Amino acid sequence: MSGHSKWANIKRKKEANDKVKGSVFSKLSRLITLAVVEGGGMADPDLNVKLRLMVEKAKAANMPKENIKRAIEKASGPNKQLIKEIIYEAFAPLQVSLMILATSDNLNRTFSEVRNLLEMNGGKMGNQGSVAYLFQKCGLVIFKKSDVSEENIFNFSDRIGALDIDQNSEYFFVYFPFEKLGKIKEIAGELKYESAEIDYKPLTTVAINEESQVQRIINLIDSLEALDDVHKVFANFDFNENTITKD
């Protein structure tokens, strides 16, 4: 199992815990609003692919329908939120590269918060293009093994033109061309999937073997994702999953 998929798996467990804190709902609300804004005000998920994906993710997180409705409404009307997505390229310690995705209504505030947190933890901001070439923007769909067979996964992967397939004891991770993200429901057909989203898959990885160093990188990513404006961080490090300290 690749480091990227290991980290995706750890994140899934962390998000399950975050739901209790309500932080996932807050970030999903912003992403739903952003999807409507970027879609030119289109509030119909059937006609706005990004909105549909965000609504599916919100429902999977058991976000109340009223919360989803309010998030959509925030993108329209005289008091609509002027929110934008920003992608920061950065360097963590130990030569690990980061792609930091954020949503913000105040770009100066968000930049300062991200930069300050990086510098406090031994990292630094990069220039545009300094890190992006190390990642491939793609789609990622996750299937629960109890819902699909290996044959189902190979057939689906063939239809969608998969770039890579990974798995652990619970899930299949299928990476596919970003351009096909809007057709995921059509291609999946009757197959039940856990989530489908945009992903930045590392093209090369940095191996980290010491537990303290792995934890250092994870703590930095946790701190970044705890910022109100940051909704996801991608990193190009690989590690032994057994080195992660269990909560």
User: pLDDT tens digit string along 106-135?
Assistant: 999 999 999 999 999 999 999 999 999 999
Is 60 exceeded by the pLDDT of residue 17? no
Q: What is the pLDDT of residue 169?
A: 83
* CATH code linked to domain 134-202: 3.30.70.980
Is 70 exceeded by the pLDDT of residue 8? no
User: In angstroms, how far is the first alpha carbon of the chain from the final one?
Assistant: 22
Summarize pLDDT for 148-168 with one digit per residue, the tens: 999 999 999 999 999 999 988
With b for 16 or more beta-carbon neighbours within 10 A and e for fewer, the 36-57 pattern comes to: bbbbeebbebeebbbbbbbbbb
Q: Report the C-alpha gap between 49 and 66 in whole angstroms.
A: 20
Backbone angles phi, psi at 12, to 5 degrees: -60, -40
Q: What is the pLDDT of residue 10?
A: 65
Is 60 exceeded by the pLDDT of residue 59? yes
User: Per-residue confidence at 239, pLDDT binned at 50, 70, 90?
Assistant: confident
Q: List the one residue out of 236, 5, 224 whose CA is nearest residue 120.
A: 224
Q: List the one residue out of 156, 238, 184 whose CA is nearest residue 56.
A: 184
Q: List the one residue out of 55, 76, 79, 52 whose CA is nearest residue 67.
A: 55
pTM score, whole prediction = 0.85
Summarize pLDDT for 178-217 with one digit per residue, the tens: 999 889 989 999 999 988 889 999 999 999 989 899 999 9
Is 90 exceeded by the pLDDT of residue 76? no
Which residues, other chains included, contact 130 with Cβ-Cβ below 8 Å and sequence gap of 6+?
89, 91
